[in-house]
């Protein structure tokens, strides 16, 4: 398949001596330069290869250790899950009270991870590819800096995106908050914009009782934002191979995937996801 802006320039092979029993400290020494160069700078992601020799349990252990090498792992649910399986669970995005993107096989809907959770949003996240889909499942990435540059002639849109909106939390636990209020674009201490986005969760949140409906200005701003996410000139797209692990900056990189289909026989598409509070100083 021909892809636009393949990930090859930022694929790094794990050295042979780290492929069995590597410690957090050993992996930190290996991964930290890649994180500083590719996550704190451009292009906002890198891919680690050479992991295909692991069995599934070894892969799980490696994914946790490698992620912890770049910071503290962030729990992904109220149970404290640090490693989550991203696979098709028979739901559609937004379906029911808790249907999530990560449980669907939906394509598109480029977003950042965890914009809807009341807790701290992770700086990075990682996906380790255990099994790939039979068809589709390519990852799609877009840099926030490119979107903001394109919107520089629409200060009204940028201003709207910097005002808080209600994200549905996708949490039906009794007593849990049903929405969380945060802006799509948030200024950071260093003067950059950080992005929080998953449009479907915003739309669901603004349909909740007691939450004001989205304004025409907000809808137009999201339409403009989505149009740029769909622009092939701004996209990097590639298919992770089994035995590859991608690390993505969740602050300044939006991601999604091509819709996928699992095989009627054999394994489902399975990615192992971690969320990371960065420590790359």
What's the mean pLDDT in 26-43? 96
Would you state the pLDDT for residue 3? 41
6-24, pLDDT tens digit by residue?
Answer: 899 999 999 999 998 999 9
What's the mean pLDDT in 29-49? 96
- For 155, residues 6+ apart whose C-beta sits below 8 A from its C-beta are none
d(CA 26, CA 30): 7
pLDDT band at 189 (very low <50, low <70, confident <90, very high): confident
CA proximity to 257, closest of 129, 65, 106, 44? 106
Would you state the pLDDT for residue 132? 95
83-96, pLDDT tens digit by residue?
Answer: 999 999 888 776 66
* Three-class secondary structure of residue 95 per DSSP: coil
Q: Has residue 234 got a pLDDT over 50?
A: yes
Residue with the bigger pLDDT between 228 and 263: it is: 228
Contact by Cβ (8 Å): 221, 161? yes
What's the mean pLDDT in 139-168? 97
Would you state the pLDDT for residue 98? 58
Bridge-based pairing state of the strands 11-13 and 124-131 = unpaired
d(CA 132, CA 70): 25
What's the mean pLDDT in 38-52? 95
CA proximity to 73, closest of 22, 128, 122, 23? 122
**Domain architecture of the chain: domains with CATH:** 8-276 (3.60.130.10)
58-83, pLDDT tens digit by residue?
Answer: 999 999 999 999 999 999 988 899 99
Would you state the pLDDT for residue 149? 96
Contact by Cβ (8 Å): 260, 113? no
Q: Has residue 99 got a pLDDT over 90?
A: no
Q: Has residue 191 got a pLDDT over 50?
A: yes
Would you state the pLDDT for residue 259? 93
Q: Has residue 2 got a pLDDT over 50?
A: no
What Cα–Cα distance (Å) separates residue 125 from each residue in 18, 59, 115, 139?
A: 21, 16, 13, 14
Would you state the pLDDT for residue 264? 80
Category of 191 on φ-ψ map: left (φ > 0), alpha (ψ -120 to 50) or beta: left
Cα–chain-centroid distance for residue 21? Answer: 27
Contact by Cβ (8 Å): 262, 130? no
Q: If you average pLDDT over every residue of the chain, what do you get?
A: 93
Q: Has residue 4 got a pLDDT over 70?
A: no
Which two tokens mark 258? 């091509």
């Amino acid at each position: 398949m021909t892809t636009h802006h393949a990930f090859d320039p930022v694929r790094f092979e794990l050295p042979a001596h780290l492929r069995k029993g590597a410690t957090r400290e050993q992996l930190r020494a290996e991964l930290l330069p890649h994180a500083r160069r590719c996550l704190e700078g451009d292009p906002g992601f890198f891919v680690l290869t050479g992991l295909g020799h692991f069995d599934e349990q070894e892969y799980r252990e490696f994914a946790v250790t490698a992620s912890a090498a770049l910071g503290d792992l962030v729990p992904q649910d109220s149970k404290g899950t640090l490693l989550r399986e991203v696979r098709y669970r028979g739901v559609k995005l937004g379906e029911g009270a808790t249907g999530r993107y990560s449980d669907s096989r939906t394509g598109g809907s480029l977003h950042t991870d965890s914009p809807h959770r009341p807790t701290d949003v992770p700086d990075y996240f990682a996906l380790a590819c255990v099994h790939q889909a039979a068809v589709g499942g390519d990852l799609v990435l877009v840099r926030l800096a490119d979107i903001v540059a394109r919107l520089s002639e629409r200060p009204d849109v940028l201003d709207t995106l910097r005002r808080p909106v209600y994200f549905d939390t996708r949490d039906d636990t009794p007593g849990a908050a049903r929405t969380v209020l945060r802006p799509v674009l948030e200024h950071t201490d260093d003067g950059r914009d950080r992005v929080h986005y998953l449009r479907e969760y915003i739309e669901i949140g603004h349909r909740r009782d007691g939450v004001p409906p989205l304004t025409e200005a907000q809808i137009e701003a999201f339409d403009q934002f989505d149009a740029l996410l769909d622009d092939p000139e701004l996209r990097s797209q590639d298919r992770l191979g089994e035995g590859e692990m991608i690390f993505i900056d969740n602050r300044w990189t939006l991601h999604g995937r091509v819709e996928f289909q699992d095989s009627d026989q054999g394994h489902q598409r399975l990615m192992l996801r971690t969320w990371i509070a960065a420590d790359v100083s």
